[in-house]
Amino acid sequence: MVHSFGYRARTRDLFSQPFRKHGMPNVSTYLQVYKIGQYVDIIGNGAVHKGMPHKYYHGKTGRVWNITPRALGIVVNKRVRGNILQKRIYVRIEHVRHSRCQEDYKARKAANTEIQKWNQANPDNKKAFIKRLPEQPKPGHFVKKAKIVEITPDPYRILA
């Protein structure tokens, strides 16, 4: 049987609410403050049909470029035939949340400024800056030979 190709086709699990979290969104969702330039995550809320983004944008991170009374204008990168296009979409506030993609970067930046102040105050005892590194190789070590235990099966006996 041929399946349909509608706007919300094959989104049964994508837009479904988590277990025991059904119903309309909380009031705190509407009281969030968004500013131009902030990063936001687009997560479609199945309880609110208005202003819902297309299923492609579900889970994507974008940057706020415009704010209207009930929605946000978001710039999202989309790959189309090998090209990355910057798409400008409007999404209602119910389908958006603050992104945590820069938390680690901001914490590392704050730590590095503290280290920089320390290094200026103590030029003799300098600390190294915090830098992300890929996983390093494990240090060398000797492998001990395992003790070998011989196990022999019992001969077959007929029990009568």
Question: pLDDT, tens digit, for every residue of 147-160?
Answer: 999 999 888 888 76
What is the average pLDDT across 108-121? 93
Q: Is the pTM of this model over 0.75?
A: yes
pLDDT tops 90 at residue 101: yes
Give the integer Cα–Cα distance in Å for 55 and 135.
Answer: 35
pLDDT tops 90 at residue 86: yes
Q: How many helices (H) and strands (E) does the chain have?
A: 2, 5
Predicted pLDDT of residue 154: 86
Q: Give the number of other CB atoms < 10 A from CB of residue 93.
A: 22
Give the integer Cα–Cα distance in Å for 72 and 38.
Answer: 11
Q: Predicted confidence band at 64 (pLDDT cuts at 50, 70, 90)?
A: very high
- What's the number of CA atoms in the CB half-sphere (13 Å) around residue 27? 0
Which two tokens mark 37? 């330039």
Q: Measured between alpha carbons, how far apart are the two ends of the chain, in Å? A: 64
Output the CA torsion sign for 82, 87, 92, 94: positive
